[in-house]
Amino acid sequence: MSELVLPKPYLSYSALDLWLRDPEGYRRRYYLKEPYFSTPYTEFGNIVGGALEDRDWEHKVLQPVIDKVPQGTHPEHKIEVTILGVPMLGYLDDFTMENKAIEEYKTGIRDKKGKAPWDRVKVRKHKQLPLYTLMVKEKYGSWNPEINLTWMETVWGNTSEEIHFGGNILRDNTIGLKLTGHVEVFPRTIKEWELDRMAEIIRKVAEEISIDYQLWKNKNSTSLS
């Protein structure tokens, strides 16, 4: 296998997915190092994910869903492996070490027609799940074919916060995202052939990026020096 030259020393799911969806967007992000612009949706998802990672069961954002979300034993579990010569880095939303079970969490709103952002077909096509399963297999030598993707529904609405000031209680009302309490857990069974195919996708994407990145560096060598 040829030696890879990548803009970062590893490949992540988000990088792989961006290259497959939008190569020019990948170049801007990883070659030109343009800043990542978050949205209210990603920021809210980070708040929910951080509360789950910290096991902050008292966090007011989590209260509508806390008893409905399946949890593992190792939240935000870091995993580093090399697959077909490609260094990979991932963070599993939650992981149970004993049986190697992976939990993936998503937040999201319904579209204008009331359609949910996740269903069984979309979960079945989602590459992140077999990719993380493959990484677990490479890291620990065993893997659990059963994986869950849990969707927590969010909506735009009024959020309020009590502020204690001078012996008085003030209520600050703002418009923001919040969890509705509706949760759907989508179980997904990963087949072994999917892991083999994912390994091939990882190597193929890494080689494409490596060739493209070297061509880009040669073309821009004067401006980079």
Contact 108, 169 (CB under 8 A): no
Give pTM, 2 decimals: 0.89
* Residue 196 backbone phi and psi in degrees, to 5: -60, -40
Nearest of 184, 186, 119, 117 to residue 146 by alpha carbon: 186
Residuewise pLDDT in 10s, the chain (225 residues): 678 999 999 999 999 999 999 999 999 999 999 988 889 999 999 999 999 999 998 898 999 999 999 999 999 999 999 999 999 999 999 999 999 999 999 999 999 999 999 999 999 999 999 999 999 999 999 999 999 999 999 999 876 565 555 666 655 567 789 999 999 999 999 999 999 999 999 999 999 999 999 999 999 876 554
Separation of alpha carbons 156 and 154, rounded Å:
7
Contact 95, 53 (CB under 8 A): no
How do the domains of the chain map onto residue ranges?
Answer: 13-224
CATH of domain 13-224: 3.90.320.10
Say how many CA atoms lie within 13 Å of 136 toward its Cβ: 27
| Cβ contacts of 88 within 8 Å, gap of 6 or more | 10, 11, 12, 80, 81, 82, 135, 202
* Ranges of H-type helices in the chain: 13-21, 23-26, 40-53, 120-125, 128-140, 192-219, 221-224
Could you tell me the CA-to-CA distances from 41 to 92, 124, 156 in Å, in that order?
20, 23, 10
Query: Which long-range contacts does 166-174 make (Cβ < 8 Å, 24+ apart)?
Result: none
- pLDDT, residue 33, reads 93
Q: What are the tokens at 57?
A: 């069961």
| Beta strands 77-83 and 86-92, pairing class | antiparallel
Could you tell me the CA-to-CA distances from 85 to 2, 81, 90, 127, 206 in Å, in that order?
9, 10, 16, 19, 9
Separation of alpha carbons 168 and 170, rounded Å:
6
- pLDDT, residue 157, reads 81
Separation of alpha carbons 203 and 4, rounded Å:
10
